[in-house]
Structure 1
Amino acid sequence: MEQFRENFEEEVTDVAFSPANYWIAVATTKEIVIYDLEKKEKVASVAPEFPKMGKKGTMPSCTCLCWSMDGASLFTGYTDNVIRVWEVKPM
């Protein structure tokens, strides 16, 4: 079995395999990165924009991911109790 390896600076909180492509979505505390496992390259990277937080505030982070059945959308849950939906297109 061939191994795909990528090092992240942030904590990885979830991973999800696309049902339509040979892609994997990786959620970190900072962003969501989508990789093509066959080509071993980044397909897309998304991160929501949040309002500036005060000194004591923390930025919401993604805690879970789920692909739509057709692989065209990625649903993400955040620590601010918001579900965000991303339309996924290759870079």
Structure 2
Amino acid sequence: MVNYLTNTSVWIGGEAFFGTLSPEQLEMIHQTGYEAGVYSQKLTLERDAEMLKTMQAAGVEVIYPDTGPFQKKAREVYSQFPEWTPGLYETIQQQLQ
């Protein structure tokens, strides 16, 4: 178990669509999207815990690997994509805190 995924859906829309919306509509989409994401993550974590208990009760051995070595190796990947928007990695890391 590495808990790499807690978001179960993604909303995608292009500039052609979003450009037709008023600032109020955009704010409503952003706010409700955020709220839906938080709720979805809450449900996912709750259901994960339930499923984990059920699986363990059935005799499944759950292994929690050390993710440190993977994280260290994965950091090297970012330098392989210099075409990223400058500062994007740092912005994402700040949001994750």
| TM-score normalised to structure 2 length | 0.22
Structure with bigger RCO (C-alpha 8 Å, 6+ apart): 2
For the pair shown, which has the larger CA radius of gyration, 1 or 2?
A: 2
Which has a greater percent of strand?
1
Structure 1 or 2: more helix by fraction? 2
